[in-house]
C-alpha cells in the first residue's frame, strides 16, 4: 500500500527534488497548483501528506485550514523561503517545514521524520482483508446483517444489505475467522456507498479487546509484508533535566507529537517517552518527559544515571514516532499542588514549555545562557 502526498506548488524545481526524495521513502507524489482544483481534490481523495508552498501563503493557509476541517489528519509539510515566518506557520498547524530553495540532501534529511511518522500511522491503520459475518445494531435498535471486508485498529469496511447514513452511530459484533478474537463495540459511519459498502470508525471498544485485536492485526500485517516503524538515527543530546531535554537533529518531529527515545551504550539499552514541546526545522527539538506518576519520573532518573555511567562510551541516540498527538494528561503531575515548585526547579522544562512563543534565536540564546558542563550528559 503506497503512501500518497499532494504537492501544492508551482515551483518546478522544488517539485522535481521532492518527487525523487519522496519516492525513495515509498511516498507517491501528485501535484496541483490551481486553488480550486486543489480544494476539490482534498475533499474527494484521502492524502497521507500535504506539501504546501508558502510562496502563495493565502492558498497554502486555505488548503491547510480545509484539510484540518475534514478531520482526515494528513501530515502537512510547509515549503518556506522566509525563515521569519516559520514560527507563525508552525503555530498555524503545519507539522514540518522545509526551507527553499530545496536541495536533495536537505529534503532527504528534513523528510526523514515525516516518513517515519507516516510509516507508523500506516501500520496503525493497516487494513487487513477479512471475510466474516457482522451483526449491526442501528440507532433505532434494528439489527442488520453484514459482511466484514477489511479491518484495522481504528475501524472496518463492512457491506450491508442497505445503505447507511454518514455520521450515524451503530453497534457491532463479529468474530475473526480463526475464532481467536470476538469484537463487540460501537462505531460511527464515516463514509457510505449506495450499494451498502460502509466505512466505520471505532468509537467504543473495550481495552482488553483492543489489545487482542492489535496483536491479531500486527501478525497479519507482518505476514502481508508491512514495513517496521522507522527511526531517526544519529541524534545528539545537548541538554537534559528530570523534566525534559533538547536534541540536535536535522529531522525533528512535529510539536505535540509523542516519540520514543532509545539510548544504547555497551550493549545496554534504555528507552523513555517524550512529547515534542518545540521544534526547530533542520536544527533540533525540545522534548518534555512524562511526569504524571513516580514511576515515570523514576524512569527518567534511571536514564540520567545511565548516561552518567556511560558518558565515556558516547551513547547512541535514536528517536522513533509513537503518535502524532501525545496525551497531555501524561505530562501533568497527579499532585498539581507541587507543579509550581517542580517547574521552578527545572529551568530547562520551563523554557521548553514556552519555546513556541520564542523565535529560534531567542530560544537558543536562553538555552545557552542556562547551560553549564553538568547539563550536557553526552558532550
What is the pLDDT, as a whole number, of residue 52? 96
What is the pLDDT, as a whole number, of residue 39? 86
Mean pLDDT for the chain overall: 85
Choose between 144 and 291: higher pLDDT. 144
Per CATH, which fold does 128-223 belong to? Thrombin, subunit H (2.40.10)
What is the pLDDT, as a whole number, of residue 347? 93
Please state the rounded mean pLDDT for residues 292-321: 81
Per CATH, which fold does 3-124 belong to? Rossmann fold (3.40.50)
What proportion of the chain, given as a percentage, has pLDDT over 70?
A: 89
Q: How confident is the model at residue 180 (pLDDT cuts 50, 70, 90)?
A: confident
Q: Is the pLDDT of residue 124 over 70?
A: no
Min mean pLDDT across 26-40, 266-280, 311-325, 330-344 is at 330-344
Question: Which residue ranges make up each domain of the chain?
Answer: 3-124, 128-223, 232-375
Min mean pLDDT across 50-54, 149-153, 278-282, 368-372 is at 368-372
Per-residue pLDDT tens digits for 307-353: 888 777 677 899 999 888 898 888 876 555 545 444 458 999 999 99
Cell of 57: 501563503
What proportion of the chain, given as a percentage, has pLDDT over 90?
A: 48
Q: Is the pLDDT of residue 373 over 60?
A: no
What is the pLDDT, as a whole number, of residue 225? 57
Q: Is the pLDDT of residue 156 over 80?
A: yes
What is the pLDDT, as a whole number, of residue 42? 82
Amino acid at each position: 500500500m503506497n503512501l500518497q502526498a499532494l504537492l501544492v506548488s508551482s515551483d518546478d524545481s522544488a517539485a522535481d527534488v521532492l518527487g525523487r526524495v519522496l519516492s525513495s521513502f515509498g511516498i507517491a507524489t501528485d501535484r496541483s497548483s490551481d486553488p480550486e482544483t486543489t480544494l476539490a481534490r482534498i475533499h474527494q481523495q484521502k492524502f497521507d501528506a500535504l506539501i504546501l508552498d508558502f510562496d502563495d501563503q493565502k492558498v497554502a493557509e486555505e488548503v491547510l485550514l480545509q484539510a484540518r476541517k475534514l478531520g482526515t489528519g494528513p501530515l502537512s509539510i510547509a515549503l518556506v523561503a522566509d525563515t521569519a515566518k516559520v514560527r507563525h506557520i508552525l503555530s498555524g498547524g503545519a507539522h514540518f517545514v522545509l526551507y527553499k530553495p530545496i536541495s536533495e540532501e536537505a529534503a532527504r534529511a528534513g523528510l526523514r521524520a515525516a516518513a517515519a511518522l507516516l510509516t507508523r500511522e500506516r501500520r496503525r491503520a493497516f487494513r487487513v482483508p477479512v471475510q466474516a459475518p457482522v451483526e449491526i445494531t442501528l440507532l433505532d435498535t434494528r439489527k442488520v446483517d453484514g459482511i466484514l471486508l477489511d479491518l484495522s485498529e481504528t475501524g472496518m469496511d463492512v457491506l450491508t444489505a442497505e445503505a447507511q447514513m454518514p455520521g450515524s452511530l451503530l453497534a457491532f459484533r463479529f468474530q475473526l475467522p480463526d475464532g481467536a478474537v470476538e469484537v463487540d463495540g460501537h462505531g460511527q459511519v464515516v463514509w457510505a456507498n449506495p450499494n451498502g459498502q460502509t466505512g466505520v470508525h471505532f468509537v467504543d471498544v473495550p481495552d482488553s479487546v483492543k489489545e487482542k485485536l492489535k496483536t491479531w492485526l500486527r501478525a497479519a500485517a507482518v505476514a502481508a509484508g508491512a514495513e517496521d516503524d522507522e527511526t531517526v538515527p544519529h541524534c545528539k543530546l545537548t541538554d537534559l533535566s528530570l523534566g525534559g531535554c533538547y536534541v540536535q537533529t536535522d529531522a525533528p518531529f512535529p510539536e505535540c507529537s509523542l516519540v520514543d527515545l532509545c539510548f544504547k551504550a555497551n550493549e545496554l539499552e534504555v528507552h523513555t517517552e517524550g512529547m515534542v514541546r518545540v521544534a526547530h526545522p533542520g536544527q533540533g527539538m525540545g522534548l518534555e518527559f512524562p511526569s504524571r506518576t513516580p514511576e515515570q519520573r523514576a524512569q527518567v532518573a534511571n536514564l540520567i544515571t545511565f548516561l552518567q555511567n556511560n558518558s565515556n562510551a558516547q551513547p547512541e541516540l535514536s528517536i522513533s514516532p509513537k503518535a502524532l498527538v501525545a496525551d497531555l494528561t501524561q505530562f501533568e503531575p497527579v499532585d498539581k499542588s507541587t507543579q509550581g515548585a517542580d517547574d521552578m526547579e527545572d529551568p530547562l522544562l520551563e523554557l521548553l514549555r514556552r519555546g513556541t512563543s520564542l523565535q529560534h534565536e531567542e530560544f537558543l540564546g536562553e538555552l545557552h545562557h542556562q547551560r553549564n558542563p553538568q547539563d550536557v550528559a553526552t558532550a
